[in-house]
Amino acid sequence: MSKQKYKYVCQQCSYEASRWLGKCPECGAWNSLVEETIEKKTVAGIQKNGGVRPEPLAQIKPLGVERLDLGMAEFNRVLGGGLVPGTVVLLAGDPGIGKSTLLLQSASYAAQKLNKVFYISGEESAQQIKMRAARVGLDNSNLWLWSETDLDAIEAEIRESLPSLVIVDSIQTIYSAELNSGPGSVSQIREGTTRLLNLAKTLNIPVIIVGHVTKDGMIAGPRVLEHMVDTVLYFEGERHYQYRILRAIKNRFGSTFELGVFEMKNEGLTEVTNPSQAFLAERPLFSPGSVVAACMEGSRPLLVEIQALVSQSSFGQPRRMTTGTDNNRVNLIMAVLEKRVGLNLNFQDAYVNIVGGIKILEPALDLSIALAIASSLKNTPCLSGLAVMGEIGLTGEIRGVPYVYKRLQEAKKLGFKCCLLPAGNVEEKVSGLELLEVKTVREAIDAALA
């Protein structure tokens, strides 16, 4: 018998070493190397393709792909118009955010048109999934539930029954007995993904796998997974808010700009077709510190409320807290407000929040943050019916933003009367919407906090 060989694999970054080390030389993580048996050679991914030779681009016939409809338009759009057969999609997100719910609902919808959909769960028993299905009102005979974690059994069953869609919840729970390391280790995740990928490509079955996210927001077994699959989706949101956002981080079959908005209700996830309206639903009118920003998320305009609270600090060092956007950006905007507008924020605590638990990092948000802070400091509400957009430069100038027309249209659609925007940024006017063009933050504050 040949001597068994071991290697040591970092569970954070999949760095491999021949001996154990306390600290990973690649990513610097401590105590992250775990002993694993050297894997058997998998030839997955390197398929012999029957002697196909290089061809000129012009002669290659386009693939006539028929995408699979997953029921909710928000989900389909993020995928680039539905699920492409033979591809592997990774759905990642925090525990409890609703990944299993989303996939169960989509699988059930797809099963109405397909002959067999497999929902394989390594986390819940078939009875538990059934309970969830009953809760969200699903009942479908073409949806097959299977509580299984053994990769070999899963592979054999898929080859035998040839389902039209496979969902694996989650990649961290399935394991191959051929490898020595435990479920969730980098080698197991790599092996599981490779084999599912191979199944998807050879049998032309779409596979959606769920991936857990570690505490610092990375997919566990990180880059290994992201590189291998065709599409990476993140499902995110604050657990205490009902809104959930689905984003594409990588998509070989569509744009990564799209975003889907869902709402978690008692009877499961529903899509939010008009997110701006939802995000503005509870907005207080005529309140100091509240400003509506016209943002873009990918190719989609989104109106959100920015709130700021500025109050006298009782500590030497004032507190600055931000939720939903970049704290450094907020600090920079406050520095500009101090230096270029002369607002005295030195001894003030400042809290900035994007309402609805969503995250927006677009620079066009700058001006609305500045206005919200100024409005709270002066205790003066913003003009009513005003939507704001504009990036702020270090000299206090307002810089142009892209997609102005789309933003204006969205503001009009939601009943806003006027828009504050960078001077010279308008390509095309929207009738019925008054435009206030400004060049500097000072001008903007004068115009909006009249």
Strands (E) in 223-335, as ranges, are 231-236, 243-251, 259-265, 268-271, 290-297, 300-312, 320-323
- Is 93 annotated as belonging to a binding site? yes
- Distance of alpha carbon 307 from alpha carbon 289, whole angstroms: 5
CB 103 within 8 A of CB 145: no
Contacted entry of ligand TYD, Mg ion, none for residue 439, CB cut-off 5 to 8 Å set by kind: none
Nearer to Mg ion, 167 or 280 (CB): 167
| Residue-wise burial string across 283-319, b where 16 or more C-beta atoms lie within 10 A, e elsewhere | eeeeebbbbbbbbbbeebbbbbbbbbbbeebeeeebe
CB 419 within 8 A of CB 294: yes
- Is 99 annotated as belonging to a binding site? yes
Among 24, 97, 295, 398, binds ligand TYD (CB under 6 A): 97
Q: How many residues bind ligand TYD (CB under 6 A)?
A: 15
Contacted entry of ligand TYD, Mg ion, none for residue 82, CB cut-off 5 to 8 Å set by kind: none
Q: Is 266 in the site for ligand TYD (CB under 6 A)?
A: yes
- Is 98 annotated as belonging to a binding site? yes
- Distance of alpha carbon 347 from alpha carbon 362, whole angstroms: 28
* Binding to ligand TYD, residues 363-402 (CB under 6 A): none
Among 136, 153, 332, 436, binds ligand TYD (CB under 6 A): 136
Binding piece for Mg ion, criterion CB under 5 A, among 67-75, 95-103, 262-270, 409-417: 95-103
Residue 189 neighbours by CB under 8 Å, 6+ apart: 171, 172, 220, 221, 224, 225
The least distance separating Mg ion from the CB of residue 101, rounded to whole angstroms, comes to 8
Q: Is 100 in the site for Mg ion (CB under 5 A)?
A: yes
The least distance separating ligand TYD from the CB of residue 228, rounded to whole angstroms, comes to 21
Tokens of 386: 């005003």
Residue 421 parent element (H or E)? strand 418-422
- Is 169 annotated as belonging to a binding site? no
Nearer to ligand TYD, 117 or 138 (CB): 138
Q: Which of 178, 179, 157 has its CA nearest to residue 168?
A: 157
Tokens of 120: 């394989």
Q: Which whole-number Å values give the CA distances from 241 to 181, 251, 265, 284, 355, in the listed order?
A: 38, 27, 11, 18, 10
Q: Provide φ and ψ at 244, rounded to 5°.
A: -130, 140
The least distance separating ligand TYD from the CB of residue 394, rounded to whole angstroms, comes to 41
Contacted entry of ligand TYD, Mg ion, none for residue 93, CB cut-off 5 to 8 Å set by kind: ligand TYD
The least distance separating ligand TYD from the CB of residue 400, rounded to whole angstroms, comes to 39
- Is 96 annotated as belonging to a binding site? yes
- Distance of alpha carbon 244 from alpha carbon 102, whole angstroms: 10
Binding piece for ligand TYD, criterion CB under 6 A, among 36-44, 260-268, 278-286, 331-339: 260-268
Nearer to ligand TYD, 128 or 180 (CB): 128
Burial bucket for residue 4 (CB in 10 Å: 0-12, 13-18, 19+): exposed
The least distance separating ligand TYD from the CB of residue 98, rounded to whole angstroms, comes to 4
Among 76, 87, 101, 375, binds ligand TYD (CB under 6 A): 101
Q: Is 95 in the site for ligand TYD (CB under 6 A)?
A: yes
Among 11, 14, 32, 100, binds ligand TYD (CB under 6 A): 100
Q: Is 99 in the site for ligand TYD (CB under 6 A)?
A: yes
Sheet (strand 418-422) strand order:
320-323, 348-354, 300-312, 290-297, 386-388, 418-422, 434-438
Burial bucket for residue 130 (CB in 10 Å: 0-12, 13-18, 19+): middle
Contacted entry of ligand TYD, Mg ion, none for residue 364, CB cut-off 5 to 8 Å set by kind: none
Q: CA angle, 232 as apex, 227 and 236 as ends, to 5°? A: 135
- Is 171 annotated as belonging to a binding site? no
Among 80, 86, 93, 221, binds ligand TYD (CB under 6 A): 93
Q: Is 96 in the site for ligand TYD (CB under 6 A)?
A: yes
Nearer to Mg ion, 169 or 191 (CB): 169
Q: Give the residues lining the site for ligand TYD (CB under 6 A).
A: 93, 95-101, 132, 135-136, 264, 266-268
Positions in the binding site for Mg ion (CB under 5 A)? 100
Annotated binding-site residue numbers for ATP: 93-100
